[in-house]
Chain A
């Protein structure tokens, strides 16, 4: 128990230092004075301008969606995203507050996002407005999404605050939106080519190319292709203070190919359309748990994903329409040579298909009042070569009625979502039909005359359906499962301030306190044999948390710009089931404290970015006892950029160091993370 006490005082020290840090972030800027360097918003001649979002100019400050959104919104976009040490979307989302990235390590390890401790199945991931589904296990491996073709990542707690959206947009506890690069041309040009080559640790070879073309006055095409090959090898260290061993992870090799084709444009009646084709293929090793006497793994996985999606947007007077459709076809093969059956190695194949259709309609009743009806239909089917497999088909119908009242200083939005789900199976019992009704209310309010300060709040009740794995996995006994429900209560504020005549040119803060409940949590319960489990609606979790984000921009001297960002998350996520053996204990892998610090500087052709990520102590199993204790970890990452221009052709050289201090750590127990690693890239843009 002595150990535990120490842990507590240790963490308190961290917490208070972090608080002080935040304090400094707030206090110091207000004391400093400087000359005028007004911010000039960059002009872009592109579709982007057409898509330009409602922004209000106040002096030199723009109130962005971050400030006006009635649900907490965090954005990483454009230059900001390019500066970060990131290869995949997973690397980037680590910088968001309220988020835990479950990372099994290295290039090949699975990476999923858990927002506000409700579980990774509760975050929907959207790619260009349409959800990336996985009916099999409900999880999206963010490590598989390259940042190469991503322009913007947004994370909404609750849901996206814009009312005109597909019913799917209303149907998750939190949503991550990935936005592909939009066509963007310099004046007088109709083609743009961007090519990049990345290399470095893990035997990484990663060439990519992006070609945007203006096909007509209002028609654009985008072609993006990428190849990534890495042996995934890295050194890691394991120690208990007595033994201290360095070993090499040898089974995280990957080889991926991605090809994307996008077409979009505007018709004569100002309606917008887009089509996207996405193809992805990979062949990878599956890094396993490093346990005593086991350092190598022979399991492999192959994925092949394809989807085609299209969207259409039209506005006629008071009526707006948003329609989208998608077809996806995903194949996965898993090979385990450690399990030899009578017909050879265990070799499982899974094949999923999804068909999706969405219609969202908005009627602007008057200046202050909007009404929306969205309807989505989705059909999922799964085949697998498993014994006694159920071959499930799921039909989902989502209907949303939403309304918004918006006044100068007050904005309220409310909606009701109806979900109808029906499962059919070819063999065995089926989950049958489900019919659920869930509400959301959100408000945004400007209490004072200054537009810079806003208060926001939301309540959302939503659930996740049991996945195909939960219901029909062959080695589970079939049980009738209810959906896993979440309730979220959030209250927060945003504040932004621009300064003239000062070194500090902009300062913003957003902070939220929240209370979440997860009930009927779907958990696996074993029988008397490790081989036979059943899924049950058992768990209950209560989460009390605070997310704080502070950002500041500085203009220190001629051509020397600085940006500083700080995020902090406090989360008490406890097992709230009185019948549980670990009632009132913090749930696994959720630290009480975590935070990030980002600093960027640019001077003429040079830019530098430093990031610090801190994750506090956690437990890897439900009992909060010393043997389940996981050390805190913190990584320092550094990136240096050099930009040059040769006759309008932009060249950019980047060198990155990750985990600068070579800290030995693991996000998930027994999946050690890489020590210090390097990455170099060369980008050509014309």
Chain B
């Protein structure tokens, strides 16, 4: 029975080793902590106290995250949502598509997670979520939040139109919704009218071309303005005009910017220039765009400025020191309305952390910091 003994010995060895092996291998789970990066000296007197930057996260990865640049302390807080709300199942969610601050609350529109996440704008602590299927952008007016959403009705094959949902910012409940065009994107309020850009992106051979105009008093669509295919960005200037971008069809129809006079609701001007994104501050619209070139097989990037009062393209640039060559994919833009500093994000390859750049009014890089994945949307916190 020598043999049995050998076997027992072997089995014992294995058992001991196996159990120690198992014990060693999985460590305790931890909430991924916030990271603090000191960027600037503390400046509590600055008008812009700070800004939230929402990182979209690549689709399916559930890595939407929230960063906060705090100018009063000079510290960049990376991934603060998780730190503040560790008990929230699966965190902020999948693909954060927009952010806004209204009153004391911070709203993040999380596209794939079908929700608008509402937080306290000071602490970043979660208050609650509002479920909206396939939400895209958010804007505010007179105590109400308006959220555009791709899908009005779930599981209805002959209901391709999207909706705008009205949410009361006090009760945080959906109050009304109204059908607009197909796959509505950005919105802006001018007076008592809400303008919505419709893309129709789910049907590329038959894009939507209209800006829907909603009268906020009656909450009804009073007009549809025919503009161009595949509309996306929509920003209002202080002169009663809105700037709408058309993405084109990525083939023979190129991207353009249209200007609509909200007094007449007619197209005033058109700029044959690609703009993936734009931000308007005072008289200046800052924009960047990309065009696909089948000759080089590459996207070519361009950065530009536009005078919204004169309605003409300016020769000046907001990046002048060559930093633009380092930016792989410009993905978000914001301006400090007091200092005129321009903030630009780089989404890089979409699957690794991005970079946030700050440029002074002369276009020189002041500082940069690594962000979450696909840094995209800003919410400014002024004094």
**Is B348 within 8 A of A292, CB to CB?**
no
Interface size class of A (residues with CB under 8 A): 35 or more
- List 16 contacting pairs A-B, 8 Å CB cutoff, sorted by A: A17-B24, A35-B3, A238-B90, A293-B110, A341-B203, A387-B205, A429-B294, A528-B330, A530-B59, A532-B250, A556-B7, A597-B18, A614-B25, A616-B25, A627-B63, A627-B79
Question: Nearest Cβ in chain A — how far from B377, in angstroms?
Answer: 13
What 0/1 pattern do residues 234 to 275 of B give for CB contact below 8 A with A? 000000000000010011000000000000000000000000
B289 at the interface (CB under 8 A from A): yes
Chain A residues with Cβ below 8 Å from B87 are 242-243
Q: Mark the stretch among A6-14, A183-191, A226-234, A321-329 that contacts chain B.
A: A6-14
A634 to B25, CA, bound (A): 9
**Is A241 within 8 A of B30, CB to CB?**
yes
Chain A residues with Cβ below 8 Å from B3 are 32-35, 502-503, 556-557
A626 at the interface (CB under 8 A from B): yes
**Is A557 within 8 A of B4, CB to CB?**
yes
A556 to B2, CA, bound (A): 10
Chain A residues with Cβ below 8 Å from B25 are 10-11, 13-14, 614, 616, 632, 634
In the complex with contacts A21-B14, A292-B89, A342-B203, A528-B290 CB distance below 8 A? yes
**Is A346 within 8 A of B297, CB to CB?**
no
Chain A residues with Cβ below 8 Å from B170 are none
Chain B residues with Cβ below 8 Å from A50 are none
- Identify the closest chain B residue to A12 (Cβ): B24
B363 at the interface (CB under 8 A from A): no
In the complex with contacts A13-B25, A340-B159, A33-B6 CB distance below 8 A? yes
- Identify the closest chain B residue to A525 (Cβ): B349
**Is A627 within 8 A of B32, CB to CB?**
yes
What 0/1 pattern do residues 31 to 70 of B give for CB contact below 8 A with A? 1100000000000000000000000001111110100000
- Identify the closest chain A residue to B347 (Cβ): A526
A242 to B7, CA, bound (A): 44
B338 at the interface (CB under 8 A from A): no
**Is A298 within 8 A of B21, CB to CB?**
no
A200 to B79, CA, bound (A): 43
Residue among B18, B29, B131 making CB contact with A239, cutoff 8 Å = B29
Question: Nearest Cβ in chain A — how far from B382, in angstroms?
Answer: 28
Per DSSP, chain B at the interface is loop
Question: Nearest Cβ in chain B — how far from A539, in angstroms?
Answer: 10
**Is A528 within 8 A of B299, CB to CB?**
yes
Chain A residues with Cβ below 8 Å from B20 are 17
Q: Mark the stretch among B111-119, B190-198, B310-318 that contacts chain A.
A: B111-119
**Is A31 within 8 A of B6, CB to CB?**
yes
Question: Nearest Cβ in chain A — how far from B135, in angstroms?
Answer: 11
Residue among B18, B160, B353 making CB contact with A341, cutoff 8 Å = B160
Question: Nearest Cβ in chain B — how far from A203, in angstroms?
Answer: 24
Residue among B90, B151, B330 making CB contact with A338, cutoff 8 Å = B151
What 0/1 pattern do residues 87 to 113 of B give for CB contact below 8 A with A? 111111110000000000000001011
**Is A478 within 8 A of B294, CB to CB?**
yes
B176 at the interface (CB under 8 A from A): no
**Is A17 within 8 A of B17, CB to CB?**
yes
Chain B residues with Cβ below 8 Å from A653 are none
Interface members, chain A 29-50 (any B CB < 8 Å):
29, 31-35
What 0/1 pattern do residues 545 to 558 of A give for CB contact below 8 A with B? 00000000010110
Chain A residues with Cβ below 8 Å from B347 are 526
**Is B352 within 8 A of A622, CB to CB?**
yes
A633 to B86, CA, bound (A): 23
Chain A residues with Cβ below 8 Å from B151 are 338, 340
Question: Nearest Cβ in chain A — how far from B118, in angstroms?
Answer: 13
Question: Nearest Cβ in chain B — how far from A72, in angstroms?
Answer: 25
Interface members, chain A 509-547 (any B CB < 8 Å):
525-532, 534
A531 to B59, CA, bound (A): 12
A341 to B87, CA, bound (A): 38
**Is A10 within 8 A of B157, CB to CB?**
no
**Is B114 within 8 A of A293, CB to CB?**
yes
Chain A residues with Cβ below 8 Å from B247 are 529
**Is B26 within 8 A of A632, CB to CB?**
yes
